[in-house]
Amino acid sequence: MEIDFKVTGKTKVMGIIGNPIEHSFSPMLHNSISKHLGIDTVYIPFKVEKNHLESAVHGLKALNVVGFNVTVPYKKDVMKFIDDNTKEALLMGAVNTVKNIEGRFYGYNTDAEGFSRSFKEETGTGFKEKKIFIIGSGGAARAITVKMAFEGAKKIYIVNRTASKAAELAEIINNNIDSVAESFGFDDKKAIKSFEASDIVVNTTSVGMHPEVDSSPIEENYQFSKGQIVYDVVYNPSKTKFMSDAEKTGCKTVNGLGMLFYQGINAYEIWTGIKLSEQFLKELFVDFKSVLENR
């Protein structure tokens, strides 16, 4: 038989913790990058039960892992067990990437950077001086709005079914970054006008995700405006009803696959200190997209 030398005593370990974890694409992405670069690392998924989260984090430190990702439902709770969290991660209220630096764990949020990088790559523009309409006020919305505020958004409108949650997120932005956020409930007439007047519209909710493909996060009284950029963090299906409706009005649409991809890339670069080339990333994204769409 052939002897397998892929993992040895010198192999460094990365991984991801969450529950469930079986669906994660991260091992495929990170192990492919390491193989391409010839780096002796292995990336492993770890399913962690809720009452074992603290033990799992301490165990990963004891094992001296290079770093690890954190996925649902632990992005917020894990922060209690990390030695230091970045300012952005603290404002976003979530950590999805942890790096081991000389035995101390440092927490980052690469979801926001993944969104920003994907948005700029696929639209050719950024958020500076833009009026932006955010649908939802959960974890993804918080990360995205904090990032947009830091990058100079002119105005950020936040709408949510529960208006008080939208108000809480707007307050975080206004009190810690810049007074650019305004919040609404869905039935507020100002929300509908702000939606139509925005340069960018972002759905941060899971509405429209498979299998609920006929659902949209907005009501019929919300009308897209021609020329808007419409971003949906959902990537399955690749074109949601929300995106299809926007395209009929002449909007440019982008799904969340790039965000998923680039948050992983940012994590890998944090762990290794390696800046991956643009050409390699373009080729990898094409292959990555093909695999996910054919799963």
Listed residue (181, 118, 125, 119) closest to 150, CA to CA: 181
Whether residue 249 sits in one domain with residue 131: yes
The CA-atom distances, in angstroms, between 81 and each of 75, 76, 135, 146, 268 are 11, 10, 31, 23, 21
What CA dihedral angle connects 279, 280, 285 and 288, to 10 degrees? 160
pLDDT at residue 100 in the model = 98
Whether residue 168 sits in one domain with residue 154: yes
Within a domain: 215: yes
10 Å Cβ neighbour count for 34? 19
pLDDT at residue 10 in the model = 95
Domain CATH code at residue 159: 3.40.50.720
Those residues whose C-beta lies under 8 Å from the C-beta of residue 137, and which sit 6 or more positions away, are: 158, 160, 162, 165, 166, 168, 169, 183, 204
Within a domain: 98: yes
Strand partners, 231: 202, 254
Mean pLDDT, range 156-170, rounded to an integer: 97
Within a domain: 6: no
pLDDT at residue 293 in the model = 77
Report the chain's mean pLDDT, rounded to a whole number.
95
* pLDDT of 258 over the 80 cut: yes
Listed residue (216, 195, 132, 121) closest to 169, CA to CA: 132
Instruction: Give kind and range of the element (H or E) at residue 140.
Output: helix 139-150
Q: How far apart are CA 15 and CA 186, in angstroms?
A: 39
Whether residue 230 sits in one domain with residue 197: yes
Domain containing 220 equals 113-255
Whether residue 265 sits in one domain with residue 251: no
Whether residue 236 sits in one domain with residue 123: yes
Whether residue 52 sits in one domain with residue 23: yes
Within a domain: 5: no
- pLDDT for 12-22, tens place per residue? 999 999 999 99
Within a domain: 119: yes
Whether residue 232 sits in one domain with residue 175: yes
Whether residue 242 sits in one domain with residue 146: yes
Q: 3: which DSSP letter?
A: P
Q: How many domains does the chain have?
A: 2
Q: How far apart are CA 158 and CA 216, in angstroms?
A: 17
- pLDDT for 127-154, tens place per residue? 999 999 999 999 899 999 999 999 999 9
pLDDT at residue 26 in the model = 94
- pLDDT for 40-85, tens place per residue? 999 999 999 999 999 999 999 999 999 999 998 999 999 999 999 9
Mean pLDDT, range 233-258, rounded to an integer: 95
- pLDDT for 184-238, tens place per residue? 999 999 999 999 999 999 999 989 988 889 999 998 899 999 999 999 999 888 9
Whether residue 262 sits in one domain with residue 243: no
Whether residue 251 sits in one domain with residue 118: yes
Instruction: Please give the positions annotated as active site.
Output: 75
**Least trusted range by pLDDT, from 143-147, 236-240, 262-266, 277-281:** 236-240
Q: 273: which DSSP letter?
A: -
pLDDT at residue 236 in the model = 86
Within a domain: 2: no
Those residues whose C-beta lies under 8 Å from the C-beta of residue 270, and which sit 6 or more positions away, are: 67, 97, 99, 108, 110
Domain CATH code at residue 38: 3.40.50.10860
pTM of the model: 0.92
